[in-house]
């Protein structure tokens, strides 16, 4: 099997060398360590295909394409046990009063919303990449308030089920993948109009025990290293879409579920040396996959929406706003590393003191802090929902994510400018280590005399890895494409009010609503 061959490729580190503390349970603590999380994944019976090969379930998390993402997600568990970070990474459950990992928490205040953003920036500064666990975190928060309001209006009983599920998630400290994006087929057609009804996840059977769902979810961040997934509709629904308004929790290894792992820029480098990967320990972005659901049974206790089309839009908008809140935190932290890498390249190359380099670094800092400011602002302007939980200001959250689709490109462009052409043209680690030609690579890629060529190559590779290909595209489309945010502006920004302000100031009396629309 290809996986076994890849595992023998002599990569420079392995999961069991990853620096995770031994288990340290104290009193009531129910939180997994990073190592416990990794071990718990081995117990799954998951079906994952990589490059056309079905992996052995117990080997999935050791596959070179996957293990960096596992290491990154493990940080969300491990940092809850670090005294220097536990204030951000833990919280007190409003359901049980127990100390829990914040990634399983329902926001109880604006401070919780702000702490989430600070936590994401801090973790990104350690991993330089996505740690995937925010998607399920945002899904439970969106479902918590939506199910409450749904029950209030329709007399259903979804909120109690949701609370039980959240408590199960907290007590077992599991990682849940948020599963919203459907393949969508022909974008001009609604779910029920598609030539193939499976283009959107839908209910194909209901009985006393539960429901059977079918379809697929695309671009699934962290799915192959999660324990469960939370299915949500991908957009607002109308009455005809009843079968498609479905939300439920499914184990990632449930019968009928399979995952097809996505390719990334330069992923075959993960089967070669460590240096050429740039960030060998944690990889890039979230290890996305296509998750196929072939008639999967879900018991009623894990169903949180089934046919309530009027509430699909609310769920989508709340989930999207929570996830867009994150991006100034997570991409702010990733940008901190990009800025640091560019500055180190300037040091290593001898041009750090040039005025234009200082100016460019300041420009990157300005852009990164702008991203962060939006995430903090939408959290500080958060409001309590009818359920008692807190929700971000959706307009500011959408503006923040939209900035990411633009400013990350600017930050990365400037970083590549400072890094120099060698970030694109460097020979490989094998060339550096080759006894016949290594001395030429060593000699001609040297910058300032005091810095080893290998260090300069390592930093150039980190910069290449973090500013190109898959990583850059994720900033554009992760948490929704730019147009998805612009659609929200017209809904949330009250253009009529802006028109009335202008007319008032100009001394124009509005003649009626038609003049201000
Ligand atoms: Fe979390 Fe950022 Fe990854 Fe989304 S892209 S899951 S917000 S780390
Ligand atoms: Fe993302």
Tens digits of residue pLDDT in 95-144: 999 999 999 999 999 999 999 999 999 999 999 999 999 999 999 999 99
pLDDT at 28: 53
Taking residues 349-364, report their average pLDDT. 98
Residue ID of nearest Cα to ligand 1 atom 7: 326
Q: How confident is the model at residue 389 (pLDDT cuts 50, 70, 90)?
A: very high
Question: From ligand 2's centre to the CA of 320, what distance in Å?
Answer: 11
Mean pLDDT of 344-362: 98
Residue nearest to atom 3 of ligand 1 (CA): 130
Residue 188 has pLDDT above 60, yes or no: yes
For the segment 364-371, the average pLDDT, to the nearest whole number, is 98
Atom of ligand 1 nearest to the CA of 474: 5
The pLDDT, as a whole number, for residue 327 is 97
Q: Whose CA is nearest to atom 6 of ligand 1?
A: 132
Ligand 1 atom closest to Cα of 132? 6
**Residue-level pLDDT at 21:** 38
Atom 5 (ligand 1): residue with closest C-alpha?
Answer: 130
Q: Is the pLDDT of residue 14 over 60?
A: no
- What pLDDT was estimated at residue 330? 97
**pLDDT surpassing 50 at residue 351:** yes
Cβ neighbors of 466 (< 8 A, separation 6 or more) are 128, 129, 278, 279, 284, 334, 337, 338, 341, 412
Beta bridge partners of 290: 260
pLDDT at 12 over 70: no
Task: Give residue 93 CA to ligand 1 midpoint distance, Å.
Answer: 22
Min mean pLDDT across 8-17, 296-305, 403-412 is at 8-17
Q: What is the pLDDT of residues 31-88, one digit of tens each?
A: 999 999 999 999 999 999 999 999 999 999 999 999 999 999 999 999 999 999 999 9
154 Cα distance to chain centroid: 32
CA of 25 to the centre of ligand 2 (A): 31
**Does the structure show a pLDDT above 80 at 377?**
yes
Active-site residue set: 130, 134, 221, 288, 323, 327, 330, 474
Neighbours of 351 (CB within 10 A): 15
State yes or no: pLDDT of 8 exceeds 50: no
The pLDDT of residue 11 is above 60: no
Instruction: List, in sequence order, every residue forming a beta bridge with 237; answer none if it has no partner.
Output: none
Angle at 390 (CA atoms; ends 386, 396), nearest 5 degrees: 115
140-159 pLDDT, tens digit each: 999 999 999 999 999 999 99
Label residue 500 exposed, middle or buried (CB < 10 Å: 0-12, 13-18, 19+): middle
Ligand nearest to the CA of 116: 1
Q: 250-275 pLDDT, tens per residue?
A: 999 999 999 999 999 999 999 998 99
- In the structure, ligand 2 is a single-atom ion and the residues with CB under 5 Å from it are 478
Calculate how far, in angstroms, residue 14's C-alpha sits from the geometric centre of ligand 2.
25
Residue 517 has pLDDT above 70, yes or no: no
Ligand 1 is surrounded, with C-beta below 6 A, by: 130-132, 134-135, 221, 286, 326, 330, 478
> Which ligand 1 atom minimizes the distance to the CA of 331?
2
Q: Please, what is the average pLDDT of the chain?
A: 93
Q: What percent of the chain has pLDDT over 70?
A: 93
| Mean pLDDT calculated for residue range 408-434 | 97
> Mean per-residue pLDDT for 429-445?
98
Cα distances (angstroms) measured from residue 420 to each of 348, 356, 416: 11, 14, 6
DSSP code of residue 195: S
Ligand nearest to the CA of 284: 1
CA distance 151 to 313: 16
Q: How far is the CA of 222 from the centre of ligand 2 (A)?
A: 10
Domain 313-499, classified CATH 1.20.140.10, yes or no: yes
Instruction: Give tens-digit pLDDT for 200-232.
Output: 999 999 999 999 999 999 999 999 999 999 999
pLDDT on residue 510:
77
φ and ψ of 305, to 5 deg: -160, 135
Q: Mean pLDDT, to the nearest integer, of 310-314?
A: 98
């Amino acid at each position: 099997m290809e996986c076994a061959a890849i595992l023998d490729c002599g990569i420079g580190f392995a999961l069991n060398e990853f620096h995770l503390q031994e288990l340290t349970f104290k009193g009531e603590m129910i939180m997994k360590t990073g190592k416990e999380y990794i071990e718990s994944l081995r117990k799954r019976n998951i079906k994952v295909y990589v490059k056309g090969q079905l992996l052995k379930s117990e080997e999935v998390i050791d596959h070179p394409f996957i293990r960096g993402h596992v290491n990154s997600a493990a940080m969300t568990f491990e940092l809850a046990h670090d005294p220097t970070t536990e204030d951000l990474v833990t919280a007190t459950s409003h359901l049980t009063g127990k100390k829990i990992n914040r990634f399983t928490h329902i926001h109880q205040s604006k401070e919780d919303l702000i702490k989430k953003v600070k936590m994401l920036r801090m973790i990104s500064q350690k991993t330089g990449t996505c740690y995937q666990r925010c998607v399920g975190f945002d899904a439970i928060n969106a479902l918590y308030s939506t199910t409450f309001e749904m029950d209030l209006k329709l007399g259903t009983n979804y909120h109690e089920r949701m609370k039980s599920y959240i408590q199960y998630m907290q007590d077992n400290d599991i990682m849940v993948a948020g599963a919203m994006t459907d393949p969508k087929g022909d974008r001009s057609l609604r779910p029920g109009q598609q030539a193939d009804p499976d283009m959107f996840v839908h209910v194909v059977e209901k009985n006393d025990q539960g429901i059977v769902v079918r379809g697929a979810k695309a671009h699934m961040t962290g799915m192959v290293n999660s324990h469960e997934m939370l299915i949500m509709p991908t957009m607002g629904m109308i009455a005809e879409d009843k079968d498609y308004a479905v939300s439920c929790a499914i184990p990632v290894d449930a019968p009928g579920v399979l995952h097809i792992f996505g390719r990334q820029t330069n992923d075959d480098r993960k089967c070669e040396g460590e240096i050429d990967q740039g960030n060998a320990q944690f990889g890039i972005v979230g290890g996305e996959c296509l998750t196929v659901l072939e008639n999967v049974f879900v018991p009623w206790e894990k169903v949180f929406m089934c046919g309530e089309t009027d509430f699909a839009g609310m769920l989508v908008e709340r989930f999207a706003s929570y996830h867009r809140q994150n991006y100034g935190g997570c991409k702010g932290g990733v940008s901190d590393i990009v800025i640091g890498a560019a500055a180190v390249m300037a040091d290593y190359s001898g041009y750090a003191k040039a005025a234009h380099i200082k100016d460019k670094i300041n420009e990157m800092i300005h852009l990164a802090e702008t991203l962060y400011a939006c995430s903090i602002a939408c959290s500080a302007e958060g409001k309590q929902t009818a359920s008692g939980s807190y929700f971000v200001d959706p307009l500011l959250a959408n503006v923040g994510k939209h900035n990411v689709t633009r400013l990350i490109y600017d930050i990365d462009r400037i970083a590549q400018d400072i890094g120099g052409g060698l970030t694109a043209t460097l020979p490989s680690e094998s060339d550096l280590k080759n006894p016949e030609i290594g001395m030429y690579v060593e000699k001609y890629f040297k910058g300032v005399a005091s810095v080893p060529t290998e260090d300069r190559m390592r930093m150039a590779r980190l910069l290449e890895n973090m500013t190109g290909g898959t990583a850059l595209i994720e900033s554009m489309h992760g948490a929704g494409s730019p147009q998805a945010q612009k659609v929200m502006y017209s809904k949330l920004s009250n253009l009529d009010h802006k028109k009335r302000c202008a007319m008032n100031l100009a001394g124009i009396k509005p003649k009626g609503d038609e003049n201000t629309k």
